């Protein structure tokens, strides 16, 4: 079952043009990802399979290969394309926070993802304490985009999620939500709560 999901995600990335953006042929791109298939076998059985906002894993293509601006533009939900209120240079300023070590290579798996419904209306500053206390790690900007690339319907009107794993040194945190029916990448203040924003996290990351 997880193997089938892996194949679906690989084909999804190919169909969206990720190989050409990364400067690879479709076959070269698939070859790079194939090494992640073995990581699927190591995953524990999903503990919350039926829980809304839970995903066992997503394939995340590193921003060095496909940057966040391009990735957001090819997100598609209900025939509407994603967009960002941040320009490419601003997006690139958001880097993984201290304590988050990304696997090397073209891509990796973000595992055991929760979009944070339990942290709705809780400030990002407080939510990150909860996430850390549960031995989890906040999603980065790129991981959030990867999540809605593979699972666009996980983003719901009045129920988006913040990406606390990437910061740029100011008080902003990036977030994903629905605006005018389209998936939107924007930002909010780390000290402000929003009834429609939770804080997404994952259990681990797995790569080559």
Question: Using CA atoms in the order 41, 44, 48, 54, what is the torsion angle rounded to 10 degrees?
Answer: -50
Domain ranges of the chain: 2-206
pLDDT in tens, 137-189: 999 999 999 999 999 999 988 889 999 999 999 999 999 999 999 999 999 99
pLDDT of residue 9 exceeding 70: yes
Question: Is residue 95 a contact partner of residue 166, using CB atoms and an 8 Å limit?
Answer: yes
From CA 190, how far away is CA 122, in angstroms rounded? 10
For residue 47, the model assigns a pLDDT of 55
pLDDT in tens, 62-79: 999 999 999 999 999 999
CA distances (Å), 101 to each of 34, 49, 110, 132, 186, in order?
22, 26, 12, 15, 24
Give the CATH number of domain 2-206; options: 3.40.50.620, 3.40.190.150, 3.30.420.280, 3.10.100.10.
3.10.100.10
Q: Give the global pTM.
A: 0.94
Q: DSSP code of 118? A: G
What would the two tokens of residue 162 be? Answer: 């913040």
């Amino acid at each position: 079952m997880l193997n089938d999901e892996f194949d679906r995600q690989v084909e999804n990335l190919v169909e969206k043009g990720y190989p050409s953006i990364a400067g690879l042929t479709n076959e070269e791109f698939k070859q790079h990802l194939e090494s992640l298939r073995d990581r699927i076998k190591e995953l524990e059985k999903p503990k919350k399979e039926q829980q809304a906002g839970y995903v066992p894993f997503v394939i995340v293509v590193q921003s060095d290969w496909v940057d966040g601006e391009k990735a957001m533009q090819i997100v598609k939900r209900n025939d509407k394309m994603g967009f960002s209120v941040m320009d490419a240079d601003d997006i690139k300023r958001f880097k993984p926070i201290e304590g988050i070590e990304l696997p090397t290579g073209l891509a990796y798996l973000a595992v055991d993802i929760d979009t944070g419904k339990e942290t709705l209306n809780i400030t990002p500053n407080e939510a990150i304490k909860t996430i850390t206390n549960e031995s989890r790690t906040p999603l980065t900007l790129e991981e959030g985009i990867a999540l809605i690339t593979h699972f666009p319907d996980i983003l719901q009107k009045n129920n988006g999620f913040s990406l606390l794993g990437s910061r740029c040194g100011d008080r902003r945190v990036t977030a994903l939500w629905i605006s005018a029916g389209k998936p939107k990448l924007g930002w909010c203040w780390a000290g402000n709560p929003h009834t429609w924003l939770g804080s997404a996290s994952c259990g681990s990351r797995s790569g080559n």
